Amino acid sequence: MSNPTVAFMRDYLLLDNASINHVICFVEHECIAAPDNGTIFEDPDTHTLYITARIPHGAKSHLLLRQSPRAVLERFVGSSSDRMAPDWTRWPRPAVEFQQPKANFANLFVHMAMWEENMVQPGLPFRMSQWAWSVLRDGHRHGHRHRHFYIRPDVVVYRNSAIYQLMLSVIYM
């Protein structure tokens, strides 16, 4: 039986075959400027941080959808120069790309499906969950067991949680 700490470090350091065990995550910031309403009052801009993931091209896959649905990580209404604006509203580049272990990302993605920003989009939570499960099933079909993966419905991933903060720390690197 393998040591869970060693397994975690292999995933964290991306020592396993990335094309089999990892997804490529793409996080992008989009700003929709408020239309000029012709008055002295201005409506605030809307900043949205989106995430998608895709299965690398080198991976053998039977998935119909190699790319996940586009999900909302966070939304901010206001100016990026506001004191309370999140750091990502001031990113010098509008997008970042990084790898995550399939099982870790799938678990987080299913929890994100239940966030209010994603729940208000018809059918999106279902598509997000369906994609996450298909990624994991595809890995099992190829003989790769995903260590320690399970989704507990009683556990909610909040934006101030450790797993969410860890993912953001990877993004901000």
The pLDDT tens digits of the residues spanning 28-44 come to 999 998 887 777 777 89
Q: Is the pTM of this model over 0.75?
A: no
Identify the pLDDT of residue 10: 59
- 77-99 pLDDT, tens digit per residue, is 999 999 999 999 998 888 999 99
- 9-19 pLDDT, tens digit per residue, is 555 555 555 55
100 burial level (CB within 10 Å; 0-12, 13-18, 19+): buried
User: What would the two tokens of residue 114 be?
Assistant: 């239940």
Average pLDDT taken over every residue of the chain:
76
Identify the pLDDT of residue 161: 52
**Among 149, 161, 145, 158, which Cα is nearest to 115's?**
158
Q: Which run of H or of E encompasses 98?
A: strand 95-101
Please state, in angstroms and rounded to a whole number, the distance separating the CA atoms of residues 150 and 46.
35
**Among 100, 101, 118, 99, which Cα is nearest to 157's?**
118
Q: What count of other Cβ atoms lies within 10 Å of the Cβ of residue 68?
A: 24
- 96-125 pLDDT, tens digit per residue, is 999 998 888 998 999 999 999 999 999 999
Identify the pLDDT of residue 173: 43
Q: Is the pLDDT of residue 130 over 60?
A: yes
Identify the pLDDT of residue 41: 77
3 state SS of 81: coil
- Is there a contact between 14 and 99 (Cβ–Cβ < 8 Å)? yes
Q: Indicate the pairing of strand 95-101 with strand 46-54.
A: unpaired
